[in-house]
Amino acid sequence: ILSELDTVDTKFHVLFNNLHASTRNLDKFKENVKGSRFTILKSAIRSRKIYYSTMGDGESVFSSIGNVTAQKEIEELRDELIGK
């Protein structure tokens, strides 16, 4: 993938998405993509059942009660993207 991206003259923002809930160490991946063309976002969206169940109902994690962790992940991503 990285070699194919060499043909494009642009910068990339990398979001770790759909990560297993127990995944914590992403250092090896970060080493491979670090460089002037890549910005690795601090936020990460982990794989959670609530995303699938709310999406299937046409809702969001914010419309369901008791999913504070999923809500916090989305809020952290939002804040990072808008520069808070």
**Residues 10-16, mean pLDDT to the nearest whole number:** 86
Confidence (pTM): 0.73
Looking at residue 51, what is its pLDDT? 84
Per the listing, tokens 């982990």 go with 46
Residue 77 pLDDT exceeds 90: yes
Give the tens place of pLDDT for each residue, 27-75. 888 887 777 688 889 999 999 888 888 888 888 888 878 789 999 999 9
